[in-house]
Structure 1
Amino acid sequence: MENNTSCVIRKYIPNDRPAVRRISVQTALMGDPGTVFFDDDETLADALTIYFTDHEPGSCFVAVCGGKVAGYVLGATDVRRMDKIFGTKILPFLLPKAFRRGTFLCRKNLRFLFHVFLSLLKGEFRTPVFSEEYPAALHINIDKEFRALGIGSKLIHVYLDYLKKEGVAGVHFATMSEKAAGFFEKNGFRRLFSGKRSYFRYFLGRDLLLAIYGMRLAPAKAQVCPQR
């Protein structure tokens, strides 16, 4: 697919991995660089992208503009499978790697993790489970220089078409960006849950809205009653 900006939306390929990781770090804080709160780009990129690029690359798409990866939508068709793989395969790999890199010796990183832990104790990570009706997930970001070109909407629509072809019933995801929330609503998603996150308050000076959005893609399977 092409548009007036000479951008093409296509399937993710392994050669896209460095660009996807770079964009994930450069957009980690509501579209701004993650270096504001975390001082290890390698570990941050691992946490944000490694499931998608290494365990479910077939559900990922990139926008390429002028030969450069300008953005991505990374997808998971089954959130429960993603969470299981993250807990059993990815986390046991990430933690030792981060220790070897000295990630937990950095004061900035420890401060961020401490505030995440406080947020966890306050129950801010307790949210309704939507994986039954909305089993898929997505993670989307656009490189700063390519924003406001309509790339995000094109990526979303390509991903939704992919999920429909795969027979996935629905998709849901969370965002802490109010600007992004408006974008998702314009693209047909509805808000399923609103909460807050306080772990960025120590340098932003405010809590952030957590909004979970979803979209149904196929009717729920009807239960078949046994014949008497």
Structure 2
Amino acid sequence: MHKNAESMDLNENQKVIFEEKKDQEPVIRKYCPKDREAIRRICADTGFLGKPIDPVFEDRELFADFLTRYYTDMEPESAFVCELGGEVGGYLIGCCKPRVKLFFDLLYGSVLLMKLFYRYFFKPYKPASKKYIRWLIFSGLKQTPPAPKNCPHFHINLLPKAKSPTTTRRLIDSFLSYLISRGYSQVYGQIVVFGERRKPALFNRFGFEVLNSVEVTKYKEYYPSKVFLFTVVKDLKKTPLLYSK
């Protein structure tokens, strides 16, 4: 009887552990408005080569506005999130309307620049943030490589706890399937490459062609090696999913 009781306790403990692991399995789903703040927070928490942007630029609000506002506010239907244990641990935000985004950037970008200039002189920002702003104004466009015109694109960010090859694949494949269902045949991304991460051979393995790259200098004082921004493009007719042969 005692042994049976121990077996029952063990089975119950195993069941609890199994349920906990099940709860921790990533769920990939479409974006909804309640995810907006989580996306903005993750954007800032991963903005400096996968780490928090704060040492480089202290204004998280403006940083998230520049990088996520169009996608969450103007084209939320093209965004996906990775949910882990009931919390958003990563996202993929996409754009299928490049002309709309260009118009948005021209209008809303002007508003953001006005805020940026005002805070630069009156907030006041710390020296590191002011240096980042000077880089943004004088070098940001020059250090952004050309991209295909009128082509969908995406940005992906994951917190360390949510990062895994499987999660990344499922998140990107969800967006690629979404593009194919809407009749698109091509997509591009602009990916930060540094150290031993994301070599060109890796992009080729996933069916992406490297179009060009530019060295990015905004992290020069914070990171010992060179940092590049690569433009990579994928032909969805040849390889519709990330791991397609």
TM range (shorter): 0.7 to 0.9
The match for 1:200 is: 219
Describe the SS at the equivalent of 1:202. Answer: coil
The match for 2:35 is: 16
| 2-structure distance, mates of 1:86, 1:148 | 32
Structure 2: runs of 5+ lacking an equivalent: 1-20, 239-245
- The share of aligned pairs that are identical, in percent, is 29
| 1-structure distance, mates of 2:30, 2:110 | 29
Q: Is 2:162 the counterpart of 1:146?
A: yes
The match for 1:214 is: 233
Aligned length: 212
Q: Deviations over 1:22-56 (max 9, x none)?
A: 11111112211111210111111111110100010
TM-score, structure 2 normalization? 0.76
Describe the SS at the equivalent of 1:194. Answer: strand
Describe the SS at the equivalent of 1:195. Answer: strand
| 2-structure distance, mates of 1:97, 1:129 | 28
Q: 1:171 aligns with which of 187, 195, 211?
A: 187
Describe the SS at the equivalent of 1:210. Answer: strand
Q: 1:48 aligns with which of 67, 73, 93?
A: 67
Higher mean Cα deviation, 72-81 or 48-57? Answer: 72-81
Q: 2:130 aligns with which of 99, 110, 122?
A: 110
Mapped contact 1:74–1:140 kept (Cα < 8 A)? yes
Q: Partner amino acid for 1:164?
A: I
The match for 2:152 is: 136
Q: Deviations over 1:140-192 (max 9, x none)?
A: 01111121262111100000000011112311121222424566544322211
Mapped contact 1:176–1:208 kept (Cα < 8 A)? yes
Mapped contact 2:215–2:229 kept (Cα < 8 A)? yes
Q: 1:31 aligns with which of 35, 50, 73?
A: 50
With over 3 angstroms needed to count, the CA separation of the structure-2 counterparts of 1:184 and 1:154, relative to structure 1, is farther
Aligned-residue Cα RMSD (Å) equals 2.6
Q: Partner amino acid for 1:142?
A: L
Instruction: Using the TM superposition, give the Cα deviation of residue 10 of structure 1 relative to its aligned residue in structure 2, in angstroms.
Output: 0.8
| 2-structure distance, mates of 1:213, 1:131 | 13
The match for 1:223 is: none
Q: Partner amino acid for 2:158?
A: I
Q: Partner amino acid for 1:73?
A: L
| 2-structure distance, mates of 1:85, 1:196 | 27
Q: 1:91 aligns with which of 105, 109, 118?
A: 109
| 2-structure distance, mates of 1:63, 1:31 | 16
TM-score, structure 1 normalization? 0.81
With over 3 angstroms needed to count, the CA separation of the structure-2 counterparts of 1:120 and 1:147, relative to structure 1, is closer
With over 3 angstroms needed to count, the CA separation of the structure-2 counterparts of 1:142 and 1:100, relative to structure 1, is same
Q: Partner amino acid for 2:94?
A: G
With over 3 angstroms needed to count, the CA separation of the structure-2 counterparts of 1:181 and 1:155, relative to structure 1, is farther
Structure 1: runs of 5+ lacking an equivalent: 220-228
Q: Deviations over 1:46-77 (max 9, x none)?
A: 11110100010000000111111111100001
Describe the SS at the equivalent of 1:36. Answer: coil
The match for 1:224 is: none
Instruction: Using the TM superposition, give the Cα deviation of residue 210 of structure 1 relative to its aligned residue in structure 2, in angstroms.
Output: 1.9
Q: Partner amino acid for 2:148?
A: F
